Amino acid sequence: MVFWNFNNDPIMKKISKLLLCFLILLMAQLSKAQRPDMDTSMVVVSPADPLIVYTGRIDFRNRTAPAFAYSGVSIKLKFTGDAIDMLLQDMAEGDEQRTNYFNVIIDHDAPMVVKVSKKQKIYFLARSLDLREHTIEISKRTESSVGSVILHGFRLRQGHRLLPVTEEIPSRKIEFIGNSLTTGYGNEVAIAAPPAGNPRTGFHSVNENNYTSWGALTARALNAQYMCTAYSGRGMYRNSNGFTNGTLPLVYDYINPDKADALWDHKRYVPEVVVIDLGTNDFAMGAPDSTAFCSTYISFLEKLRTLYPQTKIICVAGNALTDSWPEGEKRWTRFRSYLKSIVKKANEKDTAVYYFELSPQAGPYGEDWHPSNATHQKMSEAIVPVIRSIAGW
């Protein structure tokens, strides 16, 4: 038997070195193929491209890096090719309460959920699509308290392009102004009331989906564009913690409700219908001072009328308050009484302000006794015919 000593054979030494170099090169190429930023077949499309359609409060002071925070912000585009990526910078902290999620809908198919992170900049949204025209919608599931994001554009396959998406955009416009009931807080779970279950879970951003909130459902049922100006815990006169700073009327002019450095241009989106669901948090610490609450609400209605002279405004008695808890406070009855008097007062000068009442919710619940998706569907079904009648849609 002959044993070959490779170490002493110069030819075999050279072959082994070549094999090693080949393996290193192969591994590098494989690693490169797996890195999104090294995919040279994709070219960047600027977020300033006029063919991209944005809906919602977005900070365009830097056209090449628009920033936004509110839930329900939507980005729509049409493109050719078999692939598309999103370039996004996430500003959220990344824990259970502050991780942003997006819905991605391609060709009107079922939404795909995308979790974003500070550590990632490029997101594969689609690969291996048919080589034809496609539409895509990206909508923010999570609210502004979770965190803001900055869009740096998209990437398409070389040789492909964006197309006009205007035929996909409804002409009607609606805005929902509210709190956690409107953001979709905890709506992705369904928890029975005690003793079978306990909805007191705390907030987890993975369970918030504004796309299936009652406002978004209503807009789609009415074939209308949708803007959500809502923030969990905020009220009309005071917030759920009893403080009167940072209420929804006080941040309504901001693009990002947590930043006063940029004001929203209300001319960018003039809704034909505004739905206000505020007041639940005002009652969180007991019934608020009726005069302060009512006067603040009326002032906000007057502000909206100044901004939107032709808009129909619907004031909603939401479904989270009850007369049974806390015992003896009759919060549901008091709130309805306050709101009816507000609308009556407003109607002395403005007949395009309306009162609408939701029935108190029942289980199953989302997180922290909030509406589940099933309840959001019922809420939407209740208000859709009312809006059709008021707006003539």
Beta bridge partners of 346: none
Same-domain check for residues 139 and 226:
no
Q: Supply angle C-alpha 342, 347, 348, rounded to 5.
A: 105
Query: Are both 211 and 351 inside the same structural domain?
Result: yes
Token digits of residue 15: 């072959």
**Mean pLDDT, each 10-residue run in order, the chain (393 residues):** 50 59 51 58 98 98 98 98 98 98 98 98 97 98 98 98 93 98 98 97 98 98 98 98 98 98 98 98 97 98 98 98 94 98 98 97 97 98 98 98
Q: Please check whether residues 206 and 102 belong to one and the same domain.
A: no
Domain boundary among 119, 148, 165: 165
Q: Mutual orientation of helices 331-346 and 290-307 as an angle, nearest 10°?
A: 40
Q: Residue written as tokens 């403080």?
A: 243
**Which domain CATH number covers 370?**
3.40.50.1110
Residues 148 and 257 in one domain: no
Is the residue at 12 inside a domain?
no
Instruction: Report how many domains make up the chain.
Output: 2
Same domain, residue pair 199 and 325 = yes
If asked whether residues 263 and 137 sit together in one domain, one would say: no
- 162 HSE (CA, 13 A, CB side): 21
Q: What is the pLDDT of residue 4?
A: 43
Specify whether 176 is located in the same domain as 119: no
3 in a domain, yes or no? no
Owning domain of residue 154: 42-165
SS3 readout for 273-292: EEEEECCCHHHECECCCHHH
The answer to whether residues 123 and 199 belong to one domain is no
The order of strands in the sheet holding 224-230 is 224-230, 172-178, 273-277, 312-317, 353-357
165, 195, 224 - which closes a domain: 165
Contact by Cβ (8 Å): 252, 144: no
Question: Domain ends where: 165, 192, 216?
Answer: 165
Question: Residue 28: what pLDDT?
Answer: 47
Provide CB contacts within 8 A for 11, sequence distance 6+: none
Residues 234 and 104 in one domain: no
- Which CATH number fits the domain that encloses residue 140? 2.60.120.260
